[in-house]
């Protein structure tokens, strides 16, 4: 059962879920703007792209201290229209970001893990990410393997990583 955001016994309880409203998506765009524009200077003023409309967006929300909640981490999965270097259909994760004050608490990993679970449920053969070099260890712990193609984008070194489908065929020999 998903936990509701709230505070109990000095513990901040976070909820990781898919977005469910335009307001949620606006919070996602605000995080992208703060992280990829204000902090990293990677993008212009437009923190959206045409693939947002057909994508699956996951977020982490935490209590805002006033009885409500605040979205502080986000990422996106697209499963249609991507072929990897071998010409195989693959999903792609983009726009992974946690607000600076909420980093290092496992929220980013849980958001990406939810998207990977979703990709597995859809039997997407592989999920690709163009990882910023500093985050290669973060994605490695989530099952991504470096694909070897290093490149620079916005002055930041990147590495393509791939996470294979975690799929176990049903063993029909079991009773």
Ligand X SMILES: CC(C)(COP(=O)(O)OP(=O)(O)OC[C@H]1O[C@@H](n2cnc3c(N)ncnc32)[C@H](O)[C@@H]1OP(=O)(O)O)[C@@H](O)C(=O)NCCC(=O)NCCS
Residues within the interface to ligand X (CB under 6 A)? 35, 73, 96-98, 103-109, 131-132, 134-135, 137-138
CA distance 59 to 134: 21
Nearest CB to ligand X, comparing residues 98 and 128 = 98
Contact in structure between 66 and 76 (CB atoms under 8 Å): no
Residue 102 DSSP code: G
Shortest approach of ligand X to residue 168 CB, angstroms? Answer: 25
Cβ at position 164, least distance to ligand X in Å: 19
- In the complex with ligand X, which residue's Cβ is closer, 99 or 124? 99
- Residue 39 C-beta: closest distance to ligand X, Å: 7
The two beta strands, 11-13 and 126-132, are unpaired
Q: Residue 162 belongs to what H/E stretch? A: strand 156-164
Is the Cβ of residue 72 or residue 124 nearer to ligand X in the bound state?
A: 72
Residue nearest to ligand X (CB): 108
Task: Compare residues 153 and 170 and give the one whose CB is closer to ligand X.
Answer: 153
For the bound state, the minimum distance from the C-beta of residue 69 to ligand X, rounded and expressed in Å, comes to 16
Per DSSP (E only), the strands in 14-155 are: 15-18, 56-63, 69-78, 91-98, 126-132, 145-153
In whole angstroms, the minimum distance from the beta carbon of 101 to ligand X comes to 10
Alpha helices in 122-154 (DSSP H): 136-140
Between 46 and 153, CB nearer to ligand X:
153
DSSP state of 58: E
């Amino acid at each position: 059962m998903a936990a509701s955001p709230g505070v109990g016994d000095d513990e901040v309880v976070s909820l990781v879920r898919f977005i469910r409203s335009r307001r949620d998506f606006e919070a996602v765009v605000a995080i992208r703007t703060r992280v990829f524009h204000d902090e990293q200077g990677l993008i212009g003023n437009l923190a959206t792209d045409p693939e947002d409309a057909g994508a699956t967006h996951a977020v982490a929300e935490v209590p805002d201290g006033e009885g409500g909640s605040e979205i502080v981490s986000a990422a996106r999965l697209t499963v249609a229209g991507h072929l990897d270097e071998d010409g195989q259909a693959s999903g792609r994760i983009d726009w992974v970001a946690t607000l600076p004050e909420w980093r290092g608490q496992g929220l980013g990993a849980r958001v990406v893990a939810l998207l990977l679970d979703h990709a597995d449920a859809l039997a997407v053969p592989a999920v690709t990410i163009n990882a910023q070099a500093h985050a290669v260890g973060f994605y490695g712990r989530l099952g991504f393997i470096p694909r070897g193609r290093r490149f620079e984008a916005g002055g930041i070194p990147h590495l393509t990583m791939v996470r294979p489908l975690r799929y176990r065929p049903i063993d029909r020999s079991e009773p």
